[in-house]
Structure 1
Amino acid sequence: MKLENNDFLFVLVQFILFFVYVIDVKIVSIGWLPFINRIGLFTFVLGVLIVFISLLQLNKNLSPFPTPKLNSKLVKTGLYKFIRHPIYAGILCVVFGYGLYIGSFFKLIIATTIYMLFYFKTKYEEEKLQEFFEEYKVYKATTGRFFPRIF
């Protein structure tokens, strides 16, 4: 499929937000209870593992753009059996977890903005995936976007 302007726009905004996230801005520092820091650290480490495993499972089908690559296959195994977008889920765990760990209100705001971007990026991406893969609609109905479906 041909990449569209929206593909580039989503990726550009994503990288801008990642850049802003790594800037050390100390607007408001939150003094958490120690267990919140540990939850943040656990969430961060879990996110790193999810991203790493998801990248390995997606393998040659990986693209930074929402539009699928021409010769790609729909991956529905491993983490993708439970979550449609585990790389995004892992990144969200990393940015929220690190923000909680260091008690940065600024990073939590940027993490929330990244979540909103990923929400709209996945809506767009799923339109493209449904055009590209006949079975995507059924897959979408049985898996969660960022987290496994409970019911």
Structure 2
Amino acid sequence: MSHKTKGIILVLIQFGLLIAIIGLPHGDVWAVTELVGNIAVLLLMAGLAITLFGIVSLGNSLTATPVPKATAVLRTTGMYAIVRHPIYLGLILIGLGLTVPAGSLFTVFAFVLLIVLLSYKARFEERLLIEKFPQYRAYAARVGRIIPFVGKLKN
């Protein structure tokens, strides 16, 4: 399977999981209080802001899949100085913001699958970035993968 095909499949699964989190039946496993609702809104807003900032920061290097463009430029400043995959961090916060008010173990399961998928997707993307950018390995040794300070690449 080509990198491009694999990338497209990963993106489709990612959006499928986000849609599942939204569309799965809500439950009553935990109380959805006003506080829970407010926390969910804050998580959604933070996730959207981080995702949009990551998208804007990539500029012309942005691609729909984890496969870098031939003309891509390695970004290591701004949000990319804090985490290597800010868009994935934003998507996780969005997923959590959608999961919290659902009160359902089904949505928790879909959210956990989203985290596993994004972690796999980040590792797949990083293999390609290391091939394309020799300096990526040093960058990855300094900066956390999806969470600041966590998942630094060992030299």
Task: Report if TM-score (shorter chain) is over 0.5.
Answer: yes
Q: Distance in 1 between matches of 2:28 and 2:109?
A: 11
Deviation at 1:119, TM superposition (A): 0.5
Q: CA deviation at 1:44?
A: 1.5
Contact 2:26–2:103 under 8 Å retained in 1: no
Amino acid at match of 2:42: F
Aligned to 1:48: 48
Give the superposed CA RMSD: 2.2
Contact 1:8-1:65 at 8 Å conserved across structures: yes
For residues 3-39 of structure 1, what are the alpha-carbon distances to aligned partners after superposition, in whole Å with 9 as ceiling and x for unaligned? 4432222122223223322314135552145434332
Cα distance between partner residues in 2 of 1:24 and 1:137: 39
Equivalent residue, structure 1, for 2:59: 59
Mapping for residues 114-125 of structure 1, pairs under 5 Å: 114-125=114-125
What does residue 88 of structure 2 align with? Answer: 88
Q: Hey, what does 2:131 align to over in structure 1?
A: 131
What is the TM-score with the length of structure 2 in the denominator? 0.85
Q: Number of aligned pairs?
A: 150
Mapped contact 2:14–2:117 kept (Cα < 8 A): yes
Segments ≥4 residues shifted beyond 4 Å = none
Please give the alpha-carbon distance, in whole angstroms, between the structure 2 residues aligned to 1:3 and 1:73: 19
In structure 1, stretches of 5+ residues that fail to align are none
- 1:79 correspondence with 2:79: yes
Q: Which amino acid aligns with 2:10?
A: F
Letter in 1 for 2:38: R
Question: How many percent identity over aligned positions?
Answer: 27
Structure 1 residue 102: Cα displacement: 4.1
Aligned to 1:142: 142
CA contact 1:88–1:118 (8 Å) conserved in 2? yes
Give the Cα separation in 1 of the matches to 2:23 and 2:37.
20
In 1: Cα distance, 2:11 partner to 2:44 partner: 22
- SS of structure 1 residue aligned to 2:127: helix
